């Protein structure tokens, strides 16, 4: 069984398909969630497809669909992370003119400038390195800007810098 915490996993048979007897489909509860044990001998459709086919399927999904799919199981979640599927789906939502503009920005900046840009929003050097190591990838603009957007959304405070002051005179009447 794929249940990592066997002490919290209680198997109670339940059919998963019409016409299937309850004893054919072992299921249970693990950490408060209903789980169904997958028979390793059976074809599981998505999980058993080659990586390149899975990646192609992911290109047809919207960001919302990928977010839901990531919750299905840890294998699919890890596959989606490694595939940068969410970043690519986020990027596809942008108008082509915006995509072109982002590609131009990434192409005109050197590696140090891009790293400094990310460092403004995170101190996670491993994250920055993993993103910058993929700079030659065709999907780098999507990965870079979706990560930057995510990090920006997670910021709790911003450092204010005074660039200029505007003199304000109030006229009393």
pLDDT-derived band at 26, boundaries 50, 70, 90? low
Which neighbouring-strand residues pair with 35? 28
To the nearest 10 degrees (0 to 180), the angle between helices 125-132 and 111-119 is 150
Supply the pLDDT for residue 2. Answer: 41
pLDDT of 156 > 80? The answer is no
What confidence score (pLDDT) does residue 173 get?
A: 61
- SS3 state at 154: helix
For 76, other C-beta atoms within 10 Å of its C-beta total 17
Selection from 161, 166, 163, 121 nearest residue 145 by Cα? 121
Looking at the predicted structure, is the pLDDT value of residue 170 above 60? yes
Q: Is the pTM of this model over 0.75?
A: no
Please determine, for residue 30, whether its predicted confidence score (pLDDT) is greater than 80. Answer: no
In whole angstroms, give the CA distance from residue 1 to residue 4: 8
Looking at the predicted structure, is the pLDDT value of residue 4 above 50?
Answer: no
Q: Could you tell me if 37 and 27 are in contact, meaning their C-beta atoms sit under 8 angstroms apart?
A: yes
- Poorest-confidence range of 3-7, 12-16, 45-49, 111-115? 3-7
**pLDDT score at 44:** 65
Q: What sign does the CA torsion over 108, 111, 117, 118 have?
A: positive
Mean pLDDT score across all residues of the chain? 78
- Position with higher pLDDT, 155 vs 38: 155
């Amino acid at each position: 069984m794929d249940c990592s915490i066997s002490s919290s996993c209680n198997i109670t048979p339940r059919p998963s398909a019409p016409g299937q007897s309850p004893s054919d489909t072992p299921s249970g509860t693990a950490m408060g969630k209903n789980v169904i044990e997958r028979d390793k001998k059976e074809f599981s459709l998505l999980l058993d497809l080659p990586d390149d086919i899975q990646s192609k399927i992911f290109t047809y999904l919207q960001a919302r669909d990928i977010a839901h799919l990531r919750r299905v199981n840890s294998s699919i979640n890890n596959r989606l992370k490694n595939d940068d599927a969410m970043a690519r789906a986020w990027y596809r939502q942008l108008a082509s003119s915006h995509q072109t503009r982002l590609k131009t920005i990434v192409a005109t900046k050197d590696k140090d400038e891009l790293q400094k840009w990310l460092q403004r929003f995170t101190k996670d050097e491993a994250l920055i390195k993993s993103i910058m190591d993929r700079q030659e990838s065709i999907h780098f603009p999507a990965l870079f800007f979706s990560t930057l957007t995510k990090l920006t959304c997670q910021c709790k405070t911003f450092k204010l810098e005074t660039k200029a002051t505007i003199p304000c005179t109030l006229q009393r009447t």
